[in-house]
């Protein structure tokens, strides 16, 4: 199952190469259009990409942590959080303990960053820290550690740098074309048809490349989310923890301050709250939370194979877990563990429901309603002026005779 990382790497390389090719093609045609030199365009594209890469590589995580206003904590500042991160570090077999940051923000979210597993950070909002119990927090941290362990952070940084370069290049080219366009364009050599074709390809690329790159980026990002969910369940052996944490995250309505489009895939759920999120599932960095919860809840065990099965049941078609990871995984069933003491409900729920029922039954009786227990377990309540001698149970369909057992308790009855 730890092989996952390796097969991920291959896929990642393919995707990065694909986006790189897109960037180069864009540079090539724009160069032809504007400078009569394909090489010039490619060089400009490479320079933009190189500069953005340098910034992202050396400053990426500090920029991300900086703009989200995160502060680093020591073990003694929040022993519980520190312990949970360490637990997940051990469960995942990560070699170095990641740095832990807290973002003072009532929004509920968390993210992981860092270019390699040896230089990684986990950040969590103070709102989330307050709302979650130990098991839920463990699930969330497990998800973030999985991003680090699977090297998702590095991949997403590389992909987003490429995306950024493509967007910047296309944006400037379109401005350039708009303002200084007409005169320059006619200078494409070879004239006639070839020139027109080059311009056409260039324009089409200029419009489509950013969109295509964005779609690749979103697809990669969503897949990574599923993988991280699967890994979190594997580490904690308790998918319910992450599932109920995700539910809490989904019901909170606030956006994270300081989050922007480039940093969005690093968060555990989409940091932007928009209405009608299911409509934009193709252009979302995160899969819908309801679906993630449903998959986690459908898991029969904690292994990647179990997640794969649950995923196929929920979505059909091909799964998300790489086949090489599954091949090593299936040998031993992995049992789920019980919830921790902290997560158990404080009061006995059945008792409380029973008490609530008694109270509401009393209120009904005070209002002269008759109560008839049906054989299927449903309780039928008959209003005082009910005209018929029998009543059909809405649940099982059985005809029940109304026996007026008790006289009303109401004072005027």
Tokens (6 digits) for 276: 């009608």
For residues 89 and 236, what is the distance between their CA atoms, to the nearest angstrom? 11
Residues 328 to 367 in contact with another protein, rule: CB under 8 A? 328, 331-332, 340-341
Q: Which H or E run contains 217? A: helix 192-236
Nearer to another protein, 66 or 330 (CB): 330
Clarify whether 86 is annotated catalytic.
Answer: no
The footprint of another protein on residues 215-274 (CB under 8 A) is: 235, 237
- How is residue 212 written in tokens? 């295509």
Q: Output phi, psi for 52, to 5 deg.
A: -65, -35
Name the nearest CA neighbour of 237 among 124, 133, 138.
138
87 binds another protein (CB under 8 A): yes
- For 288, the token pair is 């819908």
- Please state, in angstroms and rounded to a whole number, the distance separating the CA atoms of residues 315 and 335: 24
Residue 339: how many other CB atoms lie within 10 Å = 16
CB 275 within 8 A of CB 256: no
Residue 93 contacts another protein per CB under 8 A: yes
Q: Which tokens hold the place of 406?
A: 């008790």
Q: Which residue, 88 or 108, has its beta carbon nearer to another protein?
A: 88
CB of 76 to another protein, least distance (A): 10
86 binds another protein (CB under 8 A): yes
Instruction: Tell me the three state secondary structure of residue 120.
Output: strand
Nearer Cβ to another protein (83/187):
83
Residue 175 lies near another protein (rule: CB under 8 A): no
Tell me the two tokens of residue 160.
Answer: 């987003």
Query: How many residues appear in the chain?
Result: 413
**9 counts as binding another protein under rule CB under 8 A:** no
Helices (H), 36-109: 38-67, 79-92
* Among positions 11, 72, 80, 357, the unique one binding another protein when judged by CB under 8 A: 80
Q: Which of 144, 240, 308, 370 is catalytic?
A: 144
Q: CA-to-CA distance for 232 and 331, rounded, in angstroms? A: 19
Q: Which of the ranges 214-222, 249-257, 325-333, 400-408 carries the binding residues for another protein, by CB under 8 A?
A: 325-333
Q: Does residue 83 interact with another protein by CB under 8 A?
A: yes
In the bound complex, what is the minimum distance in angstroms from residue 134's beta carbon to another protein?
Answer: 8
Of the pair 25, 227, the CB lying nearest another protein is at 227
Q: Which among 90-98, 145-153, 355-363, 398-406 is the span making contact with another protein, rule CB under 8 A?
A: 90-98
Rule CB under 8 A: say whether 74 interacts with another protein.
Answer: no
Give least dist CB 105 to another protein, A: 24
Instruction: Read off φ and ψ for residue 371, nearest 5 degrees.
Output: -115, 125
Nearer to another protein, 100 or 170 (CB): 100
Which position among 19, 23, 88, 296 is part of the footprint of another protein (CB under 8 A)?
A: 88
Which one of the spans 15-23, 81-89, 165-173, 216-224 is the region binding another protein (CB under 8 A)?
Answer: 81-89
Binding-site size, another protein (CB under 8 A) = 20
Question: How far is residue 193's CA from residue 198's CA, in Å, rounded to a whole number?
Answer: 9
Q: Which is nearer to another protein, 323 or 341 (CB)?
A: 341
Helix or strand or coil: residue 205?
helix
Q: Is 57 in the site for another protein (CB under 8 A)?
A: no
Q: Please select the residue that binds another protein; options are 42, 48, 65, 91, rule is CB under 8 A.
A: 91
- Residue 276 to residue 269: CA distance in whole angstroms: 15
Residue among 83 and 280 whose Cβ is closer to another protein: 83
- DSSP secondary structure, 136-185, as one string: HHHHHHHHHHHHHHTTHHHHHHHHHHHHHHHHHHHHHHHHHHHHHHHHHH
Q: Which is nearer to another protein, 83 or 281 (CB)?
A: 83
List 17, 55, 90, 204, residue binding another protein (CB under 8 A): 90
How do 379-382 and 370-373 pair as beta strands? antiparallel
| Shortest distance in whole angstroms from residue 357 CB to another protein | 29
d(CA 345, CA 151): 36
Catalytic residues: 144
State the residues that interact with another protein by CB under 8 A. Answer: 1-2, 79-80, 83-84, 86-88, 90-93, 235, 237, 328, 331-332, 340-341
């Amino acid at each position: 199952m730890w092989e996952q990382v390796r097969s991920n790497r291959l896929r990642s390389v393919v995707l990065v190469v694909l986006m790189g090719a897109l960037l180069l093609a864009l540079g090539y045609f724009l160069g032809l259009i504007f400078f009569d030199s394909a090489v010039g365009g490619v060089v400009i594209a490479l320079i933009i990409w190189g500069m953005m890469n340098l910034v992202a590589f050396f400053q990426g995580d500090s920029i991300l942590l900086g703009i989200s206003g995160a502060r680093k904590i020591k073990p003694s500042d929040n022993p519980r959080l520190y312990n949970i991160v360490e637990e997940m570090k051990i469960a995942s077999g990560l070699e170095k303990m990641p740095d832990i940051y807290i973002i003072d923000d009532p929004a509920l979210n968390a993210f992981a960053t860092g270019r390699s597993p040896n230089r990684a950070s986990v950040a969590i909002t103070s709102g989330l820290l307050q709302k979650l119990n130990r098991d839920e927090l463990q699930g969330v941290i497990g998800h973030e550690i999985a991003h680090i362990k699977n090297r998702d952070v590095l991949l997403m940084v590389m992909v987003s740098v490429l995306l950024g370069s493509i967007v910047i290049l296309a944006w400037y080219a379109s401005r350039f074309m708009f303002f200084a366009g007409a005169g320059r364009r006619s200078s494409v050599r070879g004239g006639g048809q070839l020139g027109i074709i080059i311009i056409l390809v260039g324009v089409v690329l200029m419009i489509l490349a950013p969109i295509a790159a964005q779609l690749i980026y979103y697809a990669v990002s969503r897949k990574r989310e599923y993988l991280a969910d699967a890994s979190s369940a594997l580490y904690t052996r308790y998918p319910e923890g992450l599932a109920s944490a995700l539910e809490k995250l989904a019901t909170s309505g606030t956006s994270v301050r300081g989050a922007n489009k480039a940093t969005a895939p690093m968060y555990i759920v989409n940091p932007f709250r928009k209405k009608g999120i299911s409509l934009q599932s193709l252009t979302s960095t995160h899969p819908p939370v309801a679906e993630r919860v449903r998959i986690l809840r459908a898991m029969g065990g904690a292994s990647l194979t179990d997640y794969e099965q649950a995923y196929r049941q929920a979505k059909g078609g091909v799964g998300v877990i790489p086949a090489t990871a599954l091949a090593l995984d299936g040998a031993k069933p992995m049992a789920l563990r019980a919830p921790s003491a902290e997560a158990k409900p404080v009061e006995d729920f059945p008792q409380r429901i029973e008490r609530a029922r008694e109270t509401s039954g009393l209120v009904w009786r005070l209002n002269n309603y008759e109560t008839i227990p049906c054989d299927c377990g449903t309780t039928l309540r008959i209003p005082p002026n009910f005209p018929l001698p029998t009543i059909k149970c809405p649940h099982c369909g059985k005809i029940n005779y109304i026996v007026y057992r008790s006289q009303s308790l109401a004072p005027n009855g």
